[in-house]
Structure 1
């Protein structure tokens, strides 16, 4: 009865807009992106051992993997970021967010939404993600949410 909904009508439209037309794919090789994600994850562990939350977030949010064929790097980056969010005290969140540049704040919002989209929210408590979202919205404003929702580069 509802099989008509499975037909991809965009294949018949010559003016359909493809993701590849909206943004340039990551120019790096997928293996290079994965190796970069592994190196950044190691650097983050070192910074977390020294309790440098802002530095760890800056490293993990800089040059985040996006585009096709880099799913393993995306998952590693998300896992590392969730570790940072879990280890941060709630009283330090606002100061850490204020120390981030605007692009990093937008990327953080993307990862917060990606974490919320995980089934059962993964290994992180919902209050952690919602707390970070609240503090990030207070610091960066609703413009951060709008930029996140309109950016086609999915982390």
Structure 2
């Protein structure tokens, strides 16, 4: 019995197939530039956190996140920076911080929360921190934030 037919990519023969590159425009910057920008943002976030400006730190790191292929280093650095901000925030301050974020930043934060939860063993991230932020973000932004984060094809 021949089962090689299961290895054929049938989408290669479909004229109407939707490619990932057609779903959104990738980051126009070069991969090295994206990494340098992520490093600069991480430094700015550390400065904001040292001043006690959690909202400024989140707005900085969530603005223009790296999207697209070939920039995994920048994506990981940005995720680590977001997790640093989340871990350094008191749980009583989370609702006020979330309320001060723009809608786009709230949606991007939700993407990073889900990315952190998707890590095997959740990496260096405390599950209670991510779930606490998820709860407060959903209370403030509503379930629309979850829907927008899940349906956006631009992965962080």
TM-score by structure 2 length? 0.94
After superposition, the CA RMSD in angstroms is 1.5
Could you report, residue by residue, the CA deviation over 1:134-154 in whole angstroms, capped at 9, with x for unpaired residues? 000000000001111111000
Structure 1, unmatched stretches of 5+, are none
- State the match for 2:90 in structure 1: 89
1:115 equivalent to 2:127? Answer no
Question: Secondary structure, in 3 states, of the residue corresponding to 2:52?
Answer: coil
Residue segments in structure 2 that go unaligned for 5+ positions in a row: none
Q: Which residue of 1 aligns with 2:47?
A: 46
Alpha-carbon distance change, 120 to 3 in structure 1, aligned in 2, over 3 angstroms = farther
Q: Which has the larger radius of gyration?
A: 2
In 2: Cα distance, 1:72 partner to 1:4 partner: 37
Once the two structures are superposed, what CA deviation does each residue of 1:9-47 show, in whole Å capped at 9, x if it has no partner?
A: 222222110111111111111111110000000011111
Number of the residue aligned with 1:35: 36
Residue in structure 2 matched with residue 77 of structure 1 by the alignment:
78
Pair 1:88–1:153, CA change in 2 (3 A): same
Structure 1 runs of 4+ with >6 Å offset:
none
TM-score (norm 1): 0.95
Aligned residues: 155
1:5 and 1:58, CA in 2 relative to 1: closer, same or farther beyond 3 A?
farther
- Please give the alpha-carbon distance, in whole angstroms, between the structure 2 residues aligned to 1:144 and 1:34: 27
